[in-house]
Amino acid sequence: MQTTDDLLAGDVRGKRVLVRSDLNVPLDADRNITDDGRVRASAPTIKALADAGAKVIVVAHLGRPKGAPEEKYSLQPVVGRLSELVGREVKFAADTTGPSAQEVVASLSDGDVALLENLRFNAGETSKDETERGAFADELAGLADAFVSDGFGVVHRKQASVYDVATRLPHYAGALVGTEVDVLKRLTQDPQRPFAVVLGGAKVSDKLGVIANLLNVADRLLIGGGMVFTFLKAQGHEVGKSLLEADQIDTVKGYLEEAQAKGVEIVLPTDIVVAEAFSADSPHEVVAADAIPADQMGLDIGPESAQLFADKLSDTKTVFWNGPMGAFEMAPFAAGTKAVAQALVDVTKDGALTVVGGGDSAAAVRQLGFADSDFGHISTGGGASLEYLEGKTLPGIDILSK
Instruction: Give the orientation angle of helix 79-86 with respect to helix 37-51, to 10 degrees.
Output: 50
Strands of 24-129 (E only): list them: 55-59, 90-92, 113-115
47 annotated to a ligand binding site: no
Nearest to residue 379, comparing CAs of 319, 327, 313, 312?
319
400 marked ligand binding residue = no
Q: Which of 124, 134, 174, 359 is catalytic?
A: 359
End-to-end Cα separation, the chain, in angstroms:
8
Is 107 known to sit in a ligand binding site? no
* One-character DSSP codes across 284-313: EEEEETT---TT-EEEEE-HHHHHHHHHHH
Q: Is 23 among the annotated ligand-binding positions?
A: yes
Is 373 known to sit in a ligand binding site?
A: no
151 is in an annotated binding site: no
Residue 171 assigned to a binding site = no
Starting from the edge strand earliest in sequence, which strands make up the sheet with 318-322, in order? 265-267, 220-223, 195-199, 318-322, 353-356, 377-378
Residues in the chain: 402
Q: How many CA atoms lie within 13 A of 231 on its CB side?
A: 27
338 among known catalytic residues: no
8 A C-beta contact, residue 344 and residue 233:
no
Helices (H) and strands (E) in the chain, counts: 14, 15
Distance CA(379)–CA(109), nearest Å, equals: 33
Is 85 annotated as belonging to a binding site? no
61 known member of a binding site: yes
| Closest-CA residue to 155 (of 362, 402, 377, 392) | 392
Containing 149, the helix (H) or strand (E) segment is strand 146-149
359 has binding-site annotation:
yes
Q: Is 329 annotated as a binding residue?
A: yes
Q: Is 24 annotated as a binding residue?
A: yes
Q: Is 38 in the active site?
A: yes
Q: Is 38 annotated as a binding residue?
A: yes
Q: Which of 38, 133, 312, 366 is catalytic?
A: 38
Query: Among this protein's residues, is 383 annotated catalytic?
Result: yes
CA dist 242 and 224 (Å) reads 12
Q: Which of 142, 383, 391, 392 is catalytic?
A: 383
236 annotated ligand-binding residue: no
H or E element that contains 103: helix 99-106
146/263 Cα distance (integer angstroms) = 49
Q: Is 208 annotated among the ligand-binding residues?
A: no
Phi first, then psi: what are they for 99, rounded to 5°? -55, -40
Q: Which of 47, 168, 203, 317 is catalytic?
A: 203
Based on the residue annotation, tell me whether 72 is a catalytic residue of this protein: no
Residues tagged in the binding site annotation for (2R)-3-phosphoglycerate = 38, 120, 157
Residues flagged as binding site: 22-24, 38, 61-64, 120, 157, 207, 298, 329, 358-361
Q: Which residues are catalytic?
A: 38, 203, 359, 383
Indicate the annotated binding residues for ATP: 207, 298, 329, 358-361
**Known binding-site positions for substrate:** 22-24, 38, 61-64, 120, 157
